[in-house]
């Protein structure tokens, strides 16, 4: 997995902020949630996007409305019900394992 280091970095970053990891790369019939976490009483589906350079565009450009819908439906599936607090977030990782920067954003359409 080429981007495994970026997911591990994002996970540590969020755990340092107080998030609790519930699962990684959780597959559902609708797609996959990179990091399934909990922030207080809120469940959080986190999409991690990494790019070494700009040749394939920024990681933000990869966050399409269709991708959002797949992650959203996957998160609802993981919850098992729709009355629990949940949100989607994204961690963008720019660079390489040796030199990188993170950007943590809410993910809304």
pLDDT at 63: 83
Q: What is the pLDDT of residues 4-38, one digit of tens each?
A: 899 999 999 999 999 999 999 999 999 999 999 99
- Least Cα distance to 51 among 1, 99, 3 occurs for 3
For residue 69, how many C-alpha atoms fall within 13 Å in the half-sphere facing its CB? 3
Q: pLDDT confidence of 107, banded at 50, 70, 90?
A: confident
Q: Give me the pLDDT at residue 2, please.
A: 57
Distance between CA 43 and CA 20 in Å, rounded? 9
CATH code that applies to domain 4-106: 3.40.1350.10
Predicted confidence band of residue 109 (pLDDT cuts 50, 70, 90): low
Residue of 71, 51, 70 lying closest to 59 (CA atoms): 51
C-alpha separations of 75 from 2, 66, 86, 108 in Å: 24, 14, 8, 14
- Domain extents for the chain? 4-106
Over residues 91-96, the mean pLDDT reads 88
Written as six digits, the tokens of 2 are: 């080429």
Over residues 31-87, the pLDDT tens digits come to: 999 999 999 999 999 999 887 766 556 667 778 899 999 999 999 999 998 889 999
Beta bridge pairs of residue 24: 35
């Amino acid at each position: 997995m080429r981007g495994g280091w970026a997911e591990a970095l994002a996970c540590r970053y969020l755990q340092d902020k107080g998030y609790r990891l519930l699962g990684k790369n959780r597959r559902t019939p609708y797609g996959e949630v990179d990091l399934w976490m909990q922030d207080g009483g809120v469940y959080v589906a986190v999409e991690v996007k990494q790019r070494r350079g700009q040749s394939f565009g920024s990681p933000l450009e990869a966050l399409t409305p269709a991708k959002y819908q797949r992650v959203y439906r996957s998160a609802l599936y993981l919850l098992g019900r729709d009355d629990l607090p949940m949100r989607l977030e994204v961690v963008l990782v720019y660079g390489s394992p040796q030199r990188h920067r993170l950007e943590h954003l809410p993910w809304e359409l």
